[in-house]
């Protein structure tokens, strides 16, 4: 099946300590690995984010997981297309195989299985047909955000069709949905989240956002409020997407890319029965919520 999971992403940033503050405030746990800073979700024994010192913020690499057979399949597809394997861009990320996508983004395919997220409490609601919290107050206690796992990343690309072909034909991912020539969403061949990688057309490559799952709309709201109280800039939310169906709230990191809290994303079965749709432009962003700010789709890396 080729790739089996999105394990993590890495950013090159000019100020690792600013990144430490942002991601720990966001709810992740930091661990130092020499000159690399790694972040994990509470209760999940797997790195989800890495920060590496660099001259400016950019995507350092994406890391996907597979098994021996999947790695062999991808290696054969790379060779058949004349795509060279490359050395790791940093000694902390050895193992597996390395190569680049059509935009030049480094890809690390590792023999590693995704670890399960910690168990979540059931969401109990008093709504017609779901009176599951009778006699108990429903407003949750104020808490800091604690994401369960990395869900997906969205990349800017000037080569949407070539990137889509690469991720589906080489890595084995499948198209979930798209909005014409503007944006495309892909899921893993074994099913799962509606998308783990999305591609947004732009004049230049870049990193738009990463998205982390939380347990409820309440956790999205409290997480966003917490981040704004800590002085970070609001990105967009609260709202609900049409494509993927997830509730969302985005926050700006210190370099003006975005980190998203989400919950209730569509799940795709592993049997190949999902049929990708080409959605109208009005469905590209949201069903409800505040209007997106003018800079939501801005590629700030292109300004660097």
Q: Within a domain: residue 23?
A: yes
> Exposed/middle/buried for 117, CB within 10 Å: 0-12, 13-18, 19+?
middle
What secondary structure does DSSP assign to 4-70, as a single string? Answer: -EEEEEEEEES-HHHHHHHHHHHT-EEEEETTEEEEE-TT--SEEEEEEE-SS-EEEEEEEEE-HHH
| pTM for this entry | 0.97
Q: Which of 80, 296, 268, 114 is nearest to 192 (CA)?
A: 268
Residue 283 phi, psi (nearest 5): -95, 0
pLDDT at 196: 98
Nearest one of 142, 143, 146, 145 to 44, comparing CA atoms: 146
CA distances, 115 to each of 43, 148, 217, 226 (Å): 10, 11, 24, 27
Would you place residue 71 in the very low, low, confident or very high pLDDT band (cuts 50, 70, 90)? very high
The predicted pLDDT at position 176 comes to: 98
Which CATH number characterizes residue 87's domain? 3.10.180.10
The answer to whether 48 and 40 have CB atoms below 8 angstroms apart is yes
| 133 occurs within a structural domain | no
pLDDT at 303 over 70: no
DSSP designation for 140: P
> For 231, left (φ over 0), alpha (ψ -120 to 50), or beta?
left
Q: What percent of the chain has pLDDT over 70?
A: 99
**What's the pLDDT tens digit per position in 174-206?**
999 999 999 999 999 999 999 999 999 999 999
Per-residue pLDDT of 125-177, as tens digits, reads 999 999 999 999 999 999 999 999 999 999 999 999 999 999 999 999 999 99
Question: Among positive and negative, which fits the CA dihedral 50, 158, 187, 243?
Answer: positive
pLDDT, tens digit (0-9, with 9 covering 90-100), for 147-156: 999 999 999 9
- Is beta strand 183-187 parallel, antiparallel or unpaired with respect to 174-179? antiparallel
Domain assignment present for residue 80? The answer is yes
In a domain, 294, yes or no: yes
Q: Quick one: average pLDDT of 29-55?
A: 97
Range of the domain at 54: 5-114+146-303
Residue found by looking up tokens 């509606």 in the block: 194
Please list, in sequence order, all residues whose beta carbon lies within 8 angstroms of the beta carbon of residue 245, skipping any fewer than 6 positions away. 194, 264, 265, 266
List, in sequence order, the alpha helices (H) in the chain: 16-26, 68-80, 160-169, 217-229
Average of per-residue pLDDT across 68-96: 96
Q: Is position 128 within any domain? A: no
For the cut 60, the answer to whether the pLDDT of residue 304 exceeds it is no
Instruction: State the pLDDT confidence band at 302, using cuts at 50, 70 and 90.
Output: confident
Average pLDDT over residues 243-254: 98
Say if residue 276's pLDDT is above 70.
Answer: yes
Residue 66 forms part of a structural domain: yes
Inter-CA distances, 143 with 60, 215, 227, Å: 32, 12, 12
Q: Give the model's pLDDT for residue 121.
A: 87
Segment 281-293 shows an average pLDDT of: 97
Model confidence at 1: pLDDT above 90: no
H helix or E strand, kind and range, residue 142: none
Does 230 fall in a domain? yes
Mean pLDDT of the chain: 96
More confident residue, 235 or 301: 235
Strand partners, 90: none
Write down how long the chain is.
304
pLDDT at site 150: 98
Count helices and strands (H / E) in the chain. Answer: 4, 20
The residue-averaged pLDDT of 295-301 equals 95
What pLDDT is attached to residue 24? 98
**235 inside domain:** yes
Total domains in the chain come to 1
For the segment 226-255, the average pLDDT, to the nearest whole number, is 98
* Confidence check: pLDDT of 101 > 70: yes
């Amino acid at each position: 099946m080729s790739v089996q999971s999105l394990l993590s992403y890495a950013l090159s940033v000019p100020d690792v300590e600013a990144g430490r503050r942002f991601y720990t405030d966001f709810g992740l746990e930091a661990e130092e690995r020499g000159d690399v800073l790694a972040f994990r979700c509470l209760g999940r024994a797997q790195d989800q984010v890495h920060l590496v010192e660099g001259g400016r913020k950019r995507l350092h690499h994406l890391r996907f997981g597979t098994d021996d057979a999947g790695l062999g399949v991808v290696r054969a597809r790379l060779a058949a297309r004349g795509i060279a394997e490359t050395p790791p861009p940093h000694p902390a990320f050895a193992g597996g195989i390395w190569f680049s996508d059509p935009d030049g983004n480094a890809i690390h395919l590792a023999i590693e299985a995704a670890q399960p997220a910690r168990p979540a409490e059931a969401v109990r609601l008093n709504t017609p047909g779901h009176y599951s919290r009778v006699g108990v107050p429903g407003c949750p206690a104020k808490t800091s955000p604690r994401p369960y796992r990395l869900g997906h990343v969205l990349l800017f690309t000037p080569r949407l069709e070539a990137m889509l072909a690469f991720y589906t034909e080489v890595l084995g991912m499948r198209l979930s949905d798209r909005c014409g020539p503007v944006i495309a969403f892909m899921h893993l061949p074994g099913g799962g989240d509606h998308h783990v990688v999305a591609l947004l057309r732009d004049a230049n490559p870049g990193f738009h956002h990463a998205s982390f799952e939380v347990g409820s709309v309440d956790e999205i709201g409290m997480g966003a409020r917490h981040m704004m109280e800590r002085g970070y800039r609001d990105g967009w939310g609260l709202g609900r997407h049409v494509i993927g169906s997830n509730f969302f709230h985005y926050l700006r990191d210190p370099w003006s890319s975005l980190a998203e809290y989400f919950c209730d994303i569509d799940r795709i079965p592993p049997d190949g029965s999902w049929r990708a749709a080409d959605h109208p432009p009005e469905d590209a962003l949201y069903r409800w919520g505040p209007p997106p700010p003018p800079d939501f789709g801005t590629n700030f890396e292109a300004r660097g």
